[in-house]
Structure 1
Amino acid sequence: MNDDFGVVVSAGSLRSGGERAVRFPHRWTPEGVTVEADFTGAHLLHLAAAGCVLNDLYREAAGLGITLDGVRVTASGGFDTGNWASTGIGYSVTLDSAAPAADLDRLLDVVDEVAEIPRALRAGASVVRGPR
């Protein structure tokens, strides 16, 4: 088993300044987001989960009237390299905000419930190749 598939996405005051960070435009932040990830299938799977959580933090914060100055989401997990089955994905969030801790905790709970990619992964998703 290999657990070395960590990724980091960040925005606002928590954007990465590292030379390996790739920058992308972002709907909710004028400076865009930074992504730190290798380009493997395992990393991309984790990046999908982390990116979705970051996006939904900004979306849900706006709906709750919470200002986020910065967001960093780290996701990682293992793969059984014998059959390349995921052993699960874990993520953690760092927020930079003047909002009360209780409001930020509520935001994290809401996002954990509604984030589309984590929800699809938790439910199990069918992947089918189409015709040539």
Structure 2
Amino acid sequence: MELSSLGVSATAGALRDPAGVLLHHRWTKEGVRVSPIDNGGQMLHLSVALCVLNDTYREAERLGVSVDGIAVEADGSFDDQWRSTGIEYSVTLQSEAPAEKVQHLMAVVDQVAEIPRAVRAGAPVRRRA
């Protein structure tokens, strides 16, 4: 997936990019690398990418699928009123598991990942007085 200026990546394990910001991570000893994070649009997209990465590790453990490395890219755009026009993400997963198990894992993650689910539902955001 070719990323726009609002696109981001989150990587871990054997696919961890040496560039970017290092975040401590519950599922990996080496942490996760994320980049870039220069503006609010990228932060929104990064929340999707990190959630998918986290939930891939969690669901892989539950389903007995090995994860040797993962790279999640998320991207999207905004209209002239700065409303999101949608977010797309892609996952590259390095695993010794059979392809059908990996495909099942990715389908489960797409259903349970909390941030994509919240964005899809159009949750309201309000400032407290």
| TM-score bracket for the superposition, by shorter chain length | over 0.9
Q: Which residue of 1 aligns with 2:45?
A: 46
The question of 1:32 aligning with 2:43 is answered no
Partner-residue secondary structure (3-state), 2:102: helix
Q: C-alpha separation between the residues in 2 aligned to 1:44 and 1:108? A: 23
Unaligned runs of 5+ in 2: none
Partner-residue secondary structure (3-state), 1:34: strand
Unaligned runs of 5+ in 1: none
User: Structure 2 counterpart of 1:125, which letter?
Assistant: A
The question of 1:12 aligning with 2:13 is answered yes
The question of 1:113 aligning with 2:111 is answered yes
Question: C-alpha root-mean-square deviation of aligned residues, in Å?
Answer: 0.8
Residue 10 of structure 1, CA deviation: 0.5
Q: Which residue of 1 aligns with 2:59?
A: 60
Residue 9 of structure 1, CA deviation: 0.1
Normalization by structure 2: what TM-score?
Answer: 0.95
Q: C-alpha separation between the residues in 2 aligned to 1:10 and 1:115? A: 17
User: Structure 1 counterpart of 2:13, which letter?
Assistant: G
User: Structure 2 counterpart of 1:106, which letter?
Assistant: H
Residue 17 of structure 1, CA deviation: 1.2
Partner-residue secondary structure (3-state), 2:77: strand
Residue 16 of structure 1, CA deviation: 0.6
Q: C-alpha separation between the residues in 1 aligned to 2:37 and 2:104? A: 32
Normalization by structure 1: what TM-score?
Answer: 0.93
Residue 108 of structure 1, CA deviation: 0.2
Asked if 2 retains the 8 angstrom alpha-carbon contact of 1:9 and 1:35, the reply is yes
Runs of 4+ in 1 over 6 A off after TM superposition: none
Q: Across the two proteins, how many residue pairs are aligned to each other?
A: 126
Residue 36 of structure 1, CA deviation: 0.6
Residue 49 of structure 1, CA deviation: 0.4
Within 5 Å, which residues of 2 pair with 1:48-127?
A: 48-80=47-79, 82-127=80-125
Q: C-alpha separation between the residues in 1 aligned to 2:37 and 2:63? A: 34
User: Structure 2 counterpart of 1:76, which letter?
Assistant: D
Q: C-alpha separation between the residues in 2 aligned to 1:86 and 1:129? A: 18
Q: C-alpha separation between the residues in 2 aligned to 1:109 and 1:95? A: 13
Asked if 2 retains the 8 angstrom alpha-carbon contact of 1:8 and 1:50, the reply is yes
Asked if 2 retains the 8 angstrom alpha-carbon contact of 1:4 and 1:78, the reply is no
